[in-house]
Homo-oligomer: A and B are copies of this chain.
Amino acid sequence: MSLRDRKRARTRQALIDAGAELFERQGYDGTTVADIAAAAEIGTRTFFSYFASKEELLFPDADERIRAAEEAIASRGPDDGPADVLLRALRTSARDTDLLSPIAARRIELIRTVPAVRGRALQIQLDAQRVIADRLAEAFPDRLDPVTAAALTGAFIGAVTGALQVLLAGPGTDAQAVRTALQTATDVALAPWQHHTSRNGA
Contact = CB atoms under 8 A, between A and B. Distances in A.
Interface of A: 115-116, 118-120, 122-123, 126, 129-130, 133, 146-163, 165-167, 180-181, 184-185, 188-189, 191-192
Q: How many copies does the complex hold?
A: 2
B159 A154 contact: yes
B153 A162 contact: yes
B115 A147 contact: no
Contact of A118 (B123, B155, B184, B185): B123
Nearest to A161: B154
Nearest to A120: B119
Residue of A146, A160, A166, A185 with most chain B CB atoms under a 10 A cut-off: A166
A134 B133 CA distance: 28
A151 B188 CA distance: 7
A126 B157 contact: no
B150 A162 contact: yes
Contacts of A147: 163, 166-167, 180-181, 184-185
